[in-house]
Structure 1
Amino acid sequence: MTFLVAAVVFVGALCLFNLLLTFAVLRRLREQGDELAALKAKHGPRYDPEVMVGQEIPVVGHDLVGFFDSGCPTCHEEAPLFAELAVRHSALAVISGAPKDVTDLIELLSPVASLVLGDEATELTKAVDIQAFPTFLQVSGSRIEQAQTSVAALAEKVPSA
């Protein structure tokens, strides 16, 4: 009989321990879910520049518009490709960032595109509602015809001038 009582107490303690572990795991999963939701809210949905197609842009007289930022490594990688495409089109390069940080972009793009720098670049970026850098636009008049985050994707759709 003593052995039976000891076995029941042991099984009861084991069940109680298992229940406590289950509650701990559930609490931790709930915390991770909250952390994941906070990260999703912080970073938002994936940026799709195509939603800008059809919108008006406060820039007239340019076929191509490229938005660059000094702190964006991809911008520096895409800039030479944009320069190649800009040779055949009327292009505008909007370069955000401190002047000392964008000298390489300025040197590369100034021979082939009109430049917007400093506060004017920041204002134009906000006016067009650019959400990610780099962003490249094909413009007809003042209407956005194509919007991409890579020059290669835009070049496929832009007719040669």
Structure 2
Amino acid sequence: MPYLAAAVVLIGLLCVLNLLLTVGLIRRLREQGAGRPGNAAPPTALGPGSRIGDFTTRTTDGEPVSHEDLVGLVGFFSAGCTPCHDLAPRFAAHAAGLPRREVLAVVTGEDPELVALLSPAARVVTEEFDGAVTSAFQNSWTPALYLIGAGRRVVATGGRLEDLPVESSA
């Protein structure tokens, strides 16, 4: 019986130690995350100065789009992404002030709501997560915004409209 009592006390002490270590780890992670803004820029593969890859696809309206005629604002959104749904109305409102041919929205997954919201102001492409446009941009994060200039070069990138230069026409 004394062995059983000792085992229970030992297990109890190990549980308390584990709890203290876990609380300390959570505090440290919170402190490290406190220095970063809540809407930090996404880890985009192509940074300013990078050249986008080749692609050819069609918009939801059947209009052809390729790397050769892409200049302006490009936004990547995905189905089921809450930040994407938060950004989409602001993106559409901003895009409404630009020529439609200079705005491309890429929606990954099935999301008719996003497509309907973005279609009036932008050319919209729907594709899977490894689609032609996503691959050309080497993009693995949503929402992600790119400003494309002459020569298929990325001028700016970010996860919010505020991350891009005020003037969105390249």
**TM value normalised by structure 1:** 0.63
Bigger shift: residues 135-144 or 81-90: 81-90
Which structure has the bigger radius of gyration? 1
Bigger shift: residues 144-153 or 112-121: 112-121
Q: Identify, as 1 or 2, the structure richer in helix.
A: 1
Summarize deviations over 1:104-144 as a string: whole Å, max 9, x none: 11111111111111249723212311121100011102110
Residue 103 (str. 1) matches residue 98 (str. 2): no
Runs of 4+ in structure 1 over 6 Å off: none
Length, aligned pairs only? 130
Alignment partners' CA distance in 2, 1:121 and 1:85: 27
Query: Does the residue aligned with 1:111 lie in a helix, a strand or coil?
Result: coil
Bigger shift: residues 64-73 or 81-90: 81-90
Q: Where do 5+ consecutive residues of structure 2 fail to align?
A: 1-9, 23-39, 54-66
CA contact (8 A) 2:45 2:137 kept: no
1:42 match: none
Query: Does the residue aligned with 1:146 lie in a helix, a strand or coil?
Result: strand
Over aligned residue pairs, what C-alpha RMSD do you find?
Answer: 3.6
CA contact (8 A) 2:46 2:138 kept: no
Summarize deviations over 1:68-103 as a string: whole Å, max 9, x none: 0002110010001111111222200010002xxx11
1:147 paired residue among 145, 150, 157 = 157
1:123 match: 132
2:52 paired residue among 54, 57, 66 = 57
Q: Percent identity?
A: 30
Q: Give the residue type in structure 2 aligned to 1:68.
A: F
